[in-house]
A and B are shown apart, each in its own frame.
Chain A
Amino acid sequence: MPVYRYPMPKGSEITPEKVFLNRRQFMAGATVLAAGASLPSTGYAQSIDDYEALNVAIKDSPYSTKDPANPFEDITTYNNFYEFGTGKGDPAANAGALTTEPWSIKVGGLVNNPSTIDINDILNSPELEERIYRLRCVEAWSMVIPWVGIPLANVLKKYDYQGDAKYVSFETLVRPEEMIGQRSAFGLDWPYVEGLRLDEAMHPLTILAVGVYGKQMPNQNGAPIRLVVPWKYGFKSIKSIVGINFVAQQPPTTWNLQAPSEYGFYSNVNPGVDHPRWSQKSEKIIGSGIFGSRRQTEQFNGYKEEVASLYEGMDLVKNY
């Protein structure tokens, strides 16, 4: 199957910053329009041209899937990002309010050289690369997304973490004045927190993503920087990260706190372990229309060869 390739824009084609910023005003107007519609409409999705291009050399990664990627519109209008509402269209409608500049990530915990990473250091990193991953949501759907990011290991290995650091914890921004979902009395506790075992965090498949389709990350997808762990259910891939900590104990994770029997710490994609309320054997392919097909869910979302060794000897039914 041919791999989708998008043309890299010339410098002259890159959206001027002023136009880019106007996007927010456009979004504010669009939100009002969208509120009047009774059906979730995709009419307010911005065009890919509104996003600033990242300086990334596109090369095939052995970790990328060969399956065709979903269009930019699918990726940016069908989101789970409860900070901006629980509907799939809510993040596209509401995330325009989020300010992502300036942005920094505090790295600390059991580390001898804690520091703060400026987002620009990653946005301008020569180590950015494209990874085309299938995102398998715990809700039994999937889509293929061409992320741009940097292996998390490249960032973590700059830190002199202590011997008893066994896990890495992550934290999302809390800013209720810009994140409408955080003002709701219903739903999750904030901040959204996630965690990985240190060896999972260091695995070359695990990336910190800063863009899609060669452009900076749209707000609704977790701008400006998010985790992507392709062999785990989507909710492990925490968005809009402001904190990373090396810790000794397995850290609390948001969905596990919400419903421990439904969402485990590991949450590896596993067709053999059903969610208590729905089957995980197959997944709906997003973007395939009303007569679209389903596909059989793969163990570790297709990365069995790369990651199965991390869980050798572990009971994956018990450690769901």
Chain B
Amino acid sequence: MAQSKLWTKAPTWVVYSLGFLPAAYLVYGVVTNSLGPDPIAVLENNLGEHALQFLLLGLAITPLMRFAKINLVKYRRAIGLIAFFYVVLHLLVYTLLDRQLDLNAIIGDIWKRPYITIGMSAFLLLVPLAITSNNFSIRKLGAATWNKLHKIVYAAVILGALHYMLLTKTWQLEPIIYFTLAVLLVASRKFYPKRKKQTRQNPQTSKTQTA
């Protein structure tokens, strides 16, 4: 498949480094005490939002390849693992700093509060994906099974975005945008152009050729 060389030139560690920058910025905010009067909420909200951003980015890789012929598959594992890193930090801030390890409160939250039930489900769905994000697992599971397993991310992203939408007091633009993007990216999988043996710039000619 034809692809722009420019996109694949950067080594993966560049993606990891860029991915950790927002976390470093938050750590800087904590150290300099510049996150405002409610730093816990700032950490929680920003970490959660970054998790969603990277999940959406990871979900955009295949559509980009199919619709725009830009192949970034090389970076997808890094993006997915960075997303999981933010999910874990988000969860740690909630359990350790916000709820201060009050297990009764945490279990009560998971049991009684739909947005937390949903968020926690999304996290649990992501755990097997993070664990199997390595070459060894792909070999062990076989590419087909591995691919099937990793389709779970569709559910996780939609639940994650729903989790965000349900926690605000009113309808707000940002969570709606995230949710819409999640739904669109998942739905786009149904509309991939059919793969041809030979890709041509002009789909009309390629059609007549394969016909």
Contacts and interface: CB of A to CB of B under 8 A. Distances in A.
A86 B45 CA distance: 14
Nearest to A275: B113
Count class of interface residues, chain A: 35 or more
A82 B172 CA distance: 11
B166 A39 contact: no
Nearest to B38: A286
B170 interface: yes
Contacts, number: 84
A114 to B, nearest CB: 33
Contacts of A89: 36
Contacts of A61: none
Nearest to B93: A290
Interface string B50-61: 000000000000
A278 B167 CA distance: 9
Which DSSP category, helix, strand, loop or mixed, fits chain A's interface? Answer: loop
Contacts of B100: 293-294
B172 A187 contact: yes
B34 to A, nearest CB: 7
A290 B97 contact: yes
Contacts of A281: 105
A89 B36 CA distance: 9
B82 to A, nearest CB: 17
Contact of A186 (B37, B41, B109, B173): B173
B13 interface: no
A7 interface: no
B95 interface: no
Interface stretch (A71-79, A150-158, A220-228): A71-79
B85 interface: no
Nearest to A75: B37
A78 B36 CA distance: 8
Count class of interface residues, chain B: 20 to 34
Given A186-B171, A290-B30, A78 B38 contact: yes
B136 interface: no
Given A40-B42, A277-B166, A279-B108, A287 B37 contact: yes
Interface in A211-257: 255
A70 interface: yes
B120 interface: no
A258 interface: yes
A42 interface: yes
Nearest to B29: A39
Contacts of B36: 40-42, 77-78, 88-89
Q: Which of B37, B100, B113 lies at the interface centre, i.e. has the most chain A CB atoms within 10 A of its CB?
A: B37
Interface string B169-193: 1111100000000000000000000
Contacts of B38: 78, 88, 141, 284, 286
A280 to B, nearest CB: 12
Given A39-B42, A290-B43, A188 B170 contact: yes
A263 to B, nearest CB: 9
Contacts of A279: 105, 108-109, 112-113
A62 interface: no
Contacts of B173: 184, 186
Contacts of B109: 278-279
A39 B25 contact: yes
A141 B98 CA distance: 11
Nearest to B105: A279
Contacts of A258: 169-170
Given A40-B42, A294-B100, A286 B37 contact: yes
Contacts of A259: 169
Interface string A265-279: 000000000100111
B40 A290 contact: yes
Contacts of B46: 39
B37 A86 contact: no
A141 B37 CA distance: 11
A277 B170 contact: no
Given A42-B37, A77-B36, 16 more contacts: A39-B26, A41-B34, A43-B34, A86-B168, A88-B37, A139-B169, A187-B170, A187-B171, A279-B105, A279-B112, A284-B40, A284-B41, A286-B37, A287-B37, A290-B30, A290-B40
13 contacts: A38-B25, A39-B29, A41-B36, A77-B37, A78-B36, A88-B37, A89-B36, A187-B170, A281-B105, A284-B38, A284-B41, A284-B98, A290-B40
Interface of A: 38-43, 70, 73-74, 77-78, 82, 86, 88-89, 139, 141, 143, 184, 186-188, 255, 258-259, 274, 277-279, 281-282, 284, 286-287, 289-294
